[in-house]
Amino acid sequence: MTDARETVEEAAATVVIVAFNSADTIGACVASVPPDVQIVVVDQDSTDLSAEAALAARSDSVIVRAGSNRGFGAGCNLGAARSAGEVLVFLNPDAQLGADAVRLLAGAVRRPGVGIAGPRILDQAGRETTRCRVWGSPARDVANLVFPQRVLAPRLRQDVPPSDPVYVMGGFVPYVQGACMAIERSLFDRVHGFDESFFLYSEEEDLAGRLRGQGLAAWLEPRATITHIGHTSTGPTGSFATEQYFRSRALLYRQRYGRLCGSAGSVLLAGGLLFLLLTAPFRALVRVRKAETAGFCLAGLRGIGAAMRRRPVRPPGERRS
């Protein structure tokens, strides 16, 4: 039996899902949302039946047709504009909410000093994949790009260590993963939502940084869980995703440190990619950082160049020859 407090908290929330060719996963995602919680699905010009799959799972889903693929942050902002809830829960279309996740996240964002909250994240096999990031910097990003995690000093690693009690007990963290984030609607409006200059990646760190400027922090709520498949939208276009990751890092440097220092940070990151590019044959031979192939490095360099030249993003389906 659900008590009145739980019903009120869930009904005050809206789950916003940004979809792009997500027909294979969005049905299960939508079905995991409690029946008394509003769902807003933003369809980013999918070429499959993403919106129809969402409606088949929940006929009362609000469908917003973006008209084009404008990126994750822009899609979230569109969905937030159509929401009715006091709490917004942004959820990836390849994720599924666990029991009570909405209620627990809604409660977390109402804690004093909390600006945004995220859940514990599991993969399809139930394995722990939760990672709380520390604030990025050019030096930390390059160190994590070039060196294996096992040889890095703890202060240079990108994640809060897995042994930290926060993963079990919950608590304040620098920022939470973008697969699922909850924030009060009034606060989201006050900080003007997501920065739409980020197409993919780093938008959650940017938002958390702006909330920090308001004296608010991120909170990990491990009692709330989601199951996340991951990479279903970006997997077929891995080169594009890599390009956007590095573009977003360069944009973040510029916004955080200013034009001159941000550009210097971007050059440092490009230097790390160049080092990996030049050593690709040797690394393949000795089986060190094999995933960072020459193609990966070239895509990353294109992304940094696009950010420094302020070039607009062309999604894969919209590219011109």
In a domain, 140, yes or no: no
In a domain, 89, yes or no: yes
Q: Which of 75-89, 121-135, 261-275 has the lowest mean pLDDT?
A: 121-135
Q: Which of 270, 191, 199, 280 is nearest to 237 (CA)?
A: 199
> Are both 213 and 265 inside the same structural domain?
no
214: Cα separation from own chain's centroid: 21
Report pLDDT digits (tens) over 140-195: 999 999 988 788 888 888 899 889 999 999 999 999 999 999 999 999 999 999 99
Which pLDDT does position 11 carry in this prediction?
Answer: 46
> Are both 127 and 30 inside the same structural domain?
yes
> Are both 306 and 180 inside the same structural domain?
no
Q: Which of 214, 123, 130 is nearest to 173 (CA)?
A: 130
> Are both 286 and 195 inside the same structural domain?
no
Report pLDDT digits (tens) over 17-29: 999 999 999 999 9
The last residue of one of the domains, among 228, 249, 272, is 228
pTM of the model: 0.90
> Are both 219 and 242 inside the same structural domain?
no
Selected residue with higher pLDDT from 9 and 202: 202
Spatial neighbors of 102 by CB under 8 A, at least 6 apart, are: 9, 10, 13, 15, 33, 34, 37, 89, 224
Spatial neighbors of 253 by CB under 8 A, at least 6 apart, are: 138, 261, 262, 263, 265, 266, 269
279's tokens: 């050593």
b/e string for 144-178 if b means 16 or more Cβ within 10 A? bbbbeeeeeeeebbbebeeeeebbeebbebbbbbb
Tally of domains within the chain: 2
Report pLDDT digits (tens) over 278-303: 998 888 788 777 788 999 999 999 99
> Are both 184 and 305 inside the same structural domain?
no
In a domain, 269, yes or no: yes
- Could you list the residue range(s) of the whole structural domain that residue 240 is in? 235-312
> Are both 211 and 291 inside the same structural domain?
no
